[in-house]
Copies of this chain bind each other. A is one copy, B any other.
C-alpha cells in the first residue's frame, strides 16, 4: 500500500521535512531501505546508520532530524509513531467472514456472521464468537468458550472449556489456554489429582506468544488483565493474576496463586514462586529467581553475568568457602583484640 508522506504527517501528527507527495510502500531498516521505504530511528545504537540510508523517509526525533539525509517525519516518540505507520503500510490480513467448510462447529455455537472460522477448526457447544473475530486454522474452542469482538487466534490455538477472551486479544500458534492446573494431594507416597474447576479469563488487548501455556484455576479463575503482553513459551500456573499492561518476556514461569501487579515489566527466563504478591510497577531483570513477595516498586535482579569458565569456576570455589574466609578473618580479629560482629555467627 503506497501512502504519501503528507498524509502520514497529518494522520500521525509529525512535522514533515521533505516533499509531501513522496510515496512510501513498506517499512525497512535504515540499512535495508530503498527509495520506496520508510525507516525509523528510535534506538541510539542505530544512529550511525542514518547517514547512509537510502530510505525515502525516516521517522525520528528532533535531535536526530538534522542528521537525516532523507525526508524526515519528526515526532516525540519515533518508535510509537513508526508502529502506527507500519500498521498502515502493512495492514493485518483480512480473513473472509464465515465458517470454512472443513471446520466442525457445534449446532449450539453462536458465531457472529462477520467472524471467520478457519480450516479444520473444532468449535464446541455453546461457544460464542464475537464480531470480526478470526479463528485461524486447526484451532480448537472447547465447550462454553467466549471470544469477544476482534479476537485473533493466529492458528492452531487450543482454548479449553469455559475460557473467556477479551476484545482484540491476539493469540499466536501453539498456545494452550485452560489446561488443567497442576494440583495433586499427597496420599501415602502417591498423588491424587485435585479437579481443576476454575477457568481462565483474559482481558482485552492482550497478546499471547507462541506455545505459551495458561492453566485454568483450581477453584477460582486464572486472570490475565487487559493490555498484558506475554511472549513465547511462558508458563502461567493456576490462579495466577497478571495485572493490566504488564509485560512478560519469553521462557518465564509463574507458579500457582502468584499475583503480579499492573504495569510490571518481567524479563525472560524469570522464575516466580507460588502464592507471592508483586505490587504494581515492578521491573524484574532476566533470569531472576523471585522467591518472595515484592511490596515496593523498583527494579529487582538475581542473575549473575557470565565469565570465562576457568575464572567462573574459581569464583564459585571462593564463594563456596566463604565460611573459611570468615573464620580466618575472625581469628585475625581475635588476635587484634577487635570485637567481631556477633550477627555473623547466626547460621
- In Å, the complex CA distance between A321 and B87 comes to 50
A48 within 8 A of B: no
Contact assessment for A174 and B176 in the assembled complex, using a CB-CB cutoff below 8 Å = yes
Closest to A340 in B: B328
Please, which residues of chain B bring their CB within 8 A of the CB of A191? Answer: 227, 229, 245, 247
Q: CB-defined interface of A264-276 with B at 8 Å, one 1/0 digit per residue?
A: 0000110101010
Residue from B27, B269, B344 in contact with A321 in the complex, judged by beta carbons closer than 8 Å: B344
A63 within 8 A of B: no
Closest to A86 in B: B195
Copies of this protein chain in the complex: 3
**Cβ of A73 to closest chain B Cβ, rounded Å:** 15
**Cβ of A270 to closest chain B Cβ, rounded Å:** 9
Q: How many residues of A contact B (CB 8 A)?
A: 135
A45 within 8 A of B: yes
Contact assessment for B338 and A335 in the assembled complex, using a CB-CB cutoff below 8 Å = yes
| Residues 241 to 278 of chain A near chain B (Cβ within 8 Å) | 245, 247, 249-251, 253, 255, 263, 268-269, 271, 273, 275
A47 within 8 A of B: no
Contact assessment for B82 and A185 in the assembled complex, using a CB-CB cutoff below 8 Å = yes
Contact assessment for B213 and A233 in the assembled complex, using a CB-CB cutoff below 8 Å = yes
**Cβ of A94 to closest chain B Cβ, rounded Å:** 13
